[in-house]
Amino acid sequence: MWHCFLRPIGVADQKTRLDQFYEGQAEVYDATRGGLLRGRNSMLSLSVAHLRVLREASPDKRLVWVDIGGGTGHNIELMDKHLPISSFDAIYLIDLCEPLIQVARKRFAAKGWNNITVLCQDATEFSLPEWSDGKDPKGTVSLVTLSYSLSMIPSFYTLLDRIDYVLSPEDGLLGVVDFYTSGRQPSLHEKAIGGAMKECGWSSRWFWQIWFDFDHISVSPHRRDYLEYKFGTIKSYNGRNRYIIPFIVRIPYYIWLGRSRTCDVSRFCHAFEIEGGNIIGNCSPQPVMAVKETELVPPLEIGEPAVELSVGVPSGAAVIDITSPLSAFHYQVKNPWRLPYYEQPVHKEFRTFIYSFTWEDPAEDMKYLELTEDDSMLVITSAGDNALHYAINAKPKRIHCVDINPCQGHLVELKLAAIQSLSYDDFFALFGKGQHPQFRTLLDSKIAPLLSSIAYQFWRINEDAFSSSFYHHGYSGWALHLAQLVFKLAGVWKDVIALCNSDTIAGQATIWRQKLRPVLFNPMVMVLLKSPVFCWNALGVPLNQRRMLLNEGTFLEFVRDTLDPLASTYSFKNGAYFYLLALLGHYTPASCPAYLTHAGFDTLKANDAKVMDAFRLHTASVVDVLRGLTKWSLTRAIIMDHLDWFAPGSEHVDQEIEELHRVLVAGGFVLWRSAARKPWYNEAFERKGFSVTALAIRGPEVPIDRVNMYASFWKAVKN
């Protein structure tokens, strides 16, 4: 207690202060820091996962790790759990404190590790023995880590400049975990990187800066600002260390991975290219912007690196230049399905995803899409189930998934990354069963390298989503919760199980008619179902769509016409997976979307997941994305019930239909569903040059597909 918290540090030089402070606690240092220095294990796990991907092109290249401020060697011992120490050609621990590195030497000797060199050096001037022969150290280091040491090194500018010089630009990685504080107004650069939960309140910000300053530890924003300026961000996570008193002591800490800004980001540019050479992004302040690095320019201020960007506009329009930082999307190590976007006020309206599963029937879509490998299509992102279905069954060359809710993009990113990085059993546990006890481990060690930084942050914050049932999360999860609660309170839960296990449609229909229908059609349940608040927050039905269905009948009639025909037409146990999920809260191998079948999973994963190269995930409105696409660049568009969300006569609907007409090839077409038997906007399609045809109109007895949630299904062909 005396040496850790009470002993005065003094005002001597850095080395003397460190030696005096740690001399009396070196032997118990690791035992007393376990709860305080959080995130070290995660930083190492993430580093190893990303390093493996970065080195795929050069697996035989020397692997050299420098742990700066490594102290007692705890990080190196911890690393052995993620990547055997014997895998490294050389490891260097650099620290200025002799009492701590004495502990490290003893630790490594006891382990018998002979590829580790402990150096007592000033980190800002560190020099490795292998450079002593006059060899230029530029680009010779594979991995550098700073674990709660950046905040303790006074000359951090010099240190980070030196690391940038020695780190390999092709496959080098820098990993940092440390305390920090941050202002409440994010800079443009921070928006480009994407930093959920980064802001600190004024009391927290000033308290921790003053507190740590007593120990000569600086947690002011300058170190992290320069770190994120000097290097390209790959991953960033902002956490709170709930130390000793969880609800009071919440120390801000961050985990960060980056790479040299001189790395070749051009190899990922294909992900941001649209047919015809246009490049798409969704970057503030313009609604649609193309992002490409053309020329590095000096920073506007410390922490504000800037690059010249070219704005993507519809073909034939003028091109203007703006200055903006290069985003974290450009530095991710593999498969950038997600297109760059800066967080805007509209994105903050979505705390989580609305849909954890997709309600439209993709098998019915495939009857009319006539998809080939030459098609380029635009779809509403939703939960991604249908887009994956199209990819499995037709392998189109491009699938633009569009959703203004960034959390829907986070969900689809996770599915794409998990398909490529996990085994089928782990993947089905996540999205079939809806739970996996090791999700956090899988996220850090396997999935993370394939995620954008902002998607990783979302799933790290929501890591408990797979602790019970994933499908009980998101707004749609409330509907599943309610259904199970109602059936259990009514004492018919065993009948729900029997219905989902029925081998015959006749038996299924009997259970529905005699047991479940009376419970669901109870007047009290109907009152809740037709509530505008419940319609939106649980069912994802906005007010305008609710008005459309009520204009053609009562809510009871709509629910009756939806559910009654299904139980006597489709087997929930063998194929009609939509309501099996709604009732049980999970899928089964016999009744699940195509991407969860073993055959579908194998198709998506084959040839290094080549089929999934078609995906481009946009975080913007449909009309904004369409404006950035070139003329005649799409052959198909599936907009689900998206236009139901707008009020009759909406100018936005006219603009969107006009843009659809511009980007579709002659003979290309749009498919959509509606809660109305004849939606008002059909006439808008006809005015803009489309021929509109009804593919299905729902009646009271025959369902239009395995969901039957919509009253009609439409096709509009460009004339």
- Report helix, strand or coil for 616: strand
203-217, 224-238, 317-331, 504-518: which has the minimum mean pLDDT? 317-331
User: What's residue 660's pLDDT?
Assistant: 97
187-201, 501-515, 704-718: which has the minimum mean pLDDT? 187-201
Asked whether 416 and 387 are in contact (CB, 8 A), the reply is no
DSSP line for 222-276: HHHHHHHHHEEEEEEEEEEEE-SSTTT-EEEEEEEEEEETTS-GGGGGGGGB-TT
Place of tokens 């006074």: 154
Asked whether 611 and 604 are in contact (CB, 8 A), the reply is yes
- Report helix, strand or coil for 94: strand
Return the higher-pLDDT residue of 168 and 265. 168
Burial of residue 359 (number of CB atoms within 10 Å: 0-12, 13-18, 19+): buried
User: What's residue 38's pLDDT?
Assistant: 86
Among 224-233, 351-360, 394-403, the range with the most confident prediction by mean pLDDT is 394-403
Taking the model in full, what pTM does it have?
0.88
Element (H, E) at 625: helix 622-628
* DSSP type of residue 462: T
| Tally of CB atoms within 10 A around 410 | 23
Read off the pLDDT of each residue in 558-568 and give the average, rounded to a whole number: 91
Residue 280, pLDDT > 50, answer no
CA dist 571 and 708 (Å) reads 14
CA dist 616 and 340 (Å) reads 10
DSSP line for 388-447: HHHHHHH--SEEEEE-S-HHHHHHHHHHHHHHHHS-HHHHHHHHTSS--TTHHHHIIIII
- What is the bridge-based pairing of β-strands 321-324 and 634-638? unpaired
Q: What is the pLDDT of residues 683-699, one digit of tens each?
A: 999 999 999 999 999 98
475-484, 645-654, 702-711: which has the minimum mean pLDDT? 475-484
42-51, 242-251, 369-378, 494-503: which has the minimum mean pLDDT? 242-251
237-246, 276-285, 462-471, 579-588: which has the minimum mean pLDDT? 276-285
Q: What is the mean pLDDT of the chain?
A: 85
User: What's residue 167's pLDDT?
Assistant: 97
CA dist 553 and 561 (Å) reads 11
| Tally of CB atoms within 10 A around 81 | 11
Q: What is the pLDDT of residues 627-679, one digit of tens each?
A: 989 999 999 999 999 999 899 989 999 999 999 999 999 999 999 999 999 99
User: In the structure, what pLDDT confidence band is assigned to residue 245 with cuts at 50, 70 and 90?
Assistant: low
Q: What is the pLDDT of residues 155-206, one digit of tens each?
A: 999 999 999 999 999 999 999 999 999 877 777 667 767 677 888 888 888 8
Comma-separated ranges of CATH 3.40.50.150 domains in the chain? 38-260
* DSSP type of residue 327: P
User: What's residue 314's pLDDT?
Assistant: 32
CA dist 534 and 522 (Å) reads 16
Tell me the CA distances in angstroms from 699 to 514, 516, 556, 566, 676, one per residue in order: 22, 22, 14, 12, 12
Place of tokens 């994010």: 186
Q: Which CATH number fits domain 38-260: 3.40.50.150, 3.40.190.10, 3.50.50.60, 3.30.420.40?
A: 3.40.50.150
User: What's residue 266's pLDDT?
Assistant: 57
Read off the pLDDT of each residue in 564-581 and give the average, rounded to a whole number: 94
Residue 302, pLDDT > 80, answer no
Question: Starting at the edge strand that comes first in sequence, how are the strands of the sheet with 231-242 ordered?
Answer: 116-120, 90-95, 64-68, 143-147, 173-179, 250-260, 231-242
- What is the bridge-based pairing of β-strands 90-95 and 64-68? parallel
476-489 burial: b if 16+ Cβ within 10 Å, else e:
bbebbebbbebbee
CA dist 136 and 134 (Å) reads 6
User: What's residue 319's pLDDT?
Assistant: 31
User: What's residue 276's pLDDT?
Assistant: 33
User: What's residue 162's pLDDT?
Assistant: 96
647: amino acid identity, one letter: A
* DSSP type of residue 347: G
Best CA proximity match to 329, nearest among 235, 461, 252, 231 = 235
What's the residue count for the chain? 719
Asked whether 65 and 143 are in contact (CB, 8 A), the reply is yes
Dihedrals phi, psi of 297, to nearest 5 degrees: -120, 160
The torsion defined by the Cα of 170, 171, 177 and 183, in degrees rounded to 10, comes to 30
User: What's residue 11's pLDDT?
Assistant: 58
171: amino acid identity, one letter: D
CA dist 135 and 456 (Å) reads 39
Read off the pLDDT of each residue in 320-332 and give the average, rounded to a whole number: 60
Best CA proximity match to 415, nearest among 401, 395, 430 = 430
Read off the pLDDT of each residue in 430-442 and give the average, rounded to a whole number: 97
Asked whether 104 and 72 are in contact (CB, 8 A), the reply is yes
CA dist 79 and 76 (Å) reads 5
Asked whether 223 and 151 are in contact (CB, 8 A), the reply is yes
User: What's residue 12's pLDDT?
Assistant: 63
- Report helix, strand or coil for 299: coil
Burial of residue 112 (number of CB atoms within 10 Å: 0-12, 13-18, 19+): exposed
CA dist 536 and 368 (Å) reads 30
Q: 198 Cβ partners below 8 Å, 6+ apart? A: 182, 186, 190, 238, 254
Q: What is the pLDDT of residues 443-455, one digit of tens each?
A: 999 999 999 999 9
Asked whether 713 and 719 are in contact (CB, 8 A), the reply is no
User: In the structure, what pLDDT confidence band is assigned to residue 40 with cuts at 50, 70 and 90?
Assistant: very high
192-206, 289-303, 493-507, 667-681: which has the minimum mean pLDDT? 289-303
User: What's residue 317's pLDDT?
Assistant: 30
User: What's residue 208's pLDDT?
Assistant: 86
Tell me the CA distances in angstroms from 525 to 27, 473, 489, 545, 553, one per residue in order: 64, 21, 12, 20, 18
Asked whether 396 and 616 are in contact (CB, 8 A), the reply is no
Q: What is the pLDDT of residues 85-114, one digit of tens each?
A: 999 999 999 998 888 999 999 999 999 999
Residue 476, pLDDT > 90, answer no
- Report helix, strand or coil for 127: coil
Structure tokens at 592: 């699940």
| Tally of CB atoms within 10 A around 327 | 27
Residue 311, pLDDT > 70, answer no
User: What's residue 512's pLDDT?
Assistant: 95
Cis ω before 285 (30° cut-off from 0): yes
- Report helix, strand or coil for 146: strand
